[in-house]
Amino acid sequence: MSPHPPAPSRVHSVRVEGPPTGAPLVLSNALGTTSEVWRPQLDTLARRLRVVRYELQPRRSVAEHADDVVAIAEALGLERFSLCGLSLGAMVGMWLAAEQPSRIDRLVLACTSARFGEPEEWSERAALVRGEGMAEVALAALDKWFTPSFEDREPFLRMQLSVAPGDYALGLEAIGSFDFRDRLAEIGAATLVIAGADDTATTPADAAFIADRIPEARLVVLAGAAHLANVEQPEAFTRAVLEHLSG
């Protein structure tokens, strides 16, 4: 498995792994993480699927992040693909499934919300990051991302600290301006919603709200997981994704 050169102009570091004839699956990660956050799923998914990972770029809105995914798909010749998104990445999935439904086959929305707090909260956090840097918010985020029993946090701290403060601030503002509550019923793709039972950032109630409003969506709540449920409960998460993608 190797990187796919060259990356489309709108994005950086696109990697395609798995059999060339496999059904395409785009993985879209959370703000403050790199595409390595999918490492627990990668080997299993790439045995049968054509898995596309990419790095989030500084964008002002979820719509602009969705444009990056479209650029990747077009560069790779993918007319239609499934998408598994985590947090911000799942917001991208919601947007694409409603705005460009012909592109999305199956959809997995993990650890996300159709409305993530109030815009003012995110603007304040963005100002803090621009003024003080990443260290303070990065440490606080770890307690949202993981349950107290999860100890291997250092790689995820490094992920956050690798993000330029200005880029991270733009991502915070993109999340703060997102409100898809009134558009969920427009999503026609077969959808799986995954929540971590102990996620206080995007709660199981947030996940249930999404699943209740997307026609025929299914909800899975993973015990012993917070916001990065795919990391804390990798086997259960991967199994749920594969079952959904296999239809």
- Write the burial class of residue 185 (CB in 10 Å: 0-12 exposed, 13-18 middle, 19+ buried): exposed
Q: What 3-state DSSP class applies to 170? A: helix
Mean pLDDT of 35-60: 97
Mean pLDDT of the chain, nearest integer: 94
Other beta carbons within 10 Å of 224: 14
Confidence of residue 13 (pLDDT cuts 50, 70, 90): confident
Residue 8 has pLDDT above 60, yes or no: no
Confidence of residue 247 (pLDDT cuts 50, 70, 90): confident
- Residue 61 CA to residue 66 CA, distance in Å, equals 9
Mean pLDDT of 29-44: 98
**Which letter, b or e, does each residue of 12-34 get, where b requires 16 or more Cβ atoms within 10 Å of its Cβ?**
eebbbbbeeeebbbbbbbbbbbb
Residue 168 has pLDDT above 60, yes or no: yes
Mean pLDDT of 130-135: 94
pTM: 0.94
Mean pLDDT of 119-148: 94
Mean pLDDT of 89-94: 98
CATH superfamily of 2-115+180-245: Alpha/Beta hydrolase fold, catalytic domain (3.40.50.1820)
The pLDDT value given to residue 51: 98
For the chain, the domains span 2-115+180-245
Residue 180 has pLDDT above 60, yes or no: yes
pLDDT tens per residue, range 67-86: 999 999 999 999 999 999 99
- Residue 240 CA to residue 238 CA, distance in Å, equals 5
Mean pLDDT of 174-199: 98
Residue 6 has pLDDT above 60, yes or no: no
Structure tokens that stand for 234 in this block? 């990798």
Mean pLDDT of 191-206: 98
Residue 12 has pLDDT above 70, yes or no: no
Task: For residue 13, give the DSSP letter.
Answer: E
Residue 151 has pLDDT above 50, yes or no: yes
Residue 2 has pLDDT above 50, yes or no: no
Contacts of 77 (CB under 8 A, 6+ apart): none
Confidence of residue 117 (pLDDT cuts 50, 70, 90): confident
Percent of the chain with pLDDT over 70: 95
Residue 4 has pLDDT above 50, yes or no: no
- Residue 99 CA to residue 97 CA, distance in Å, equals 6
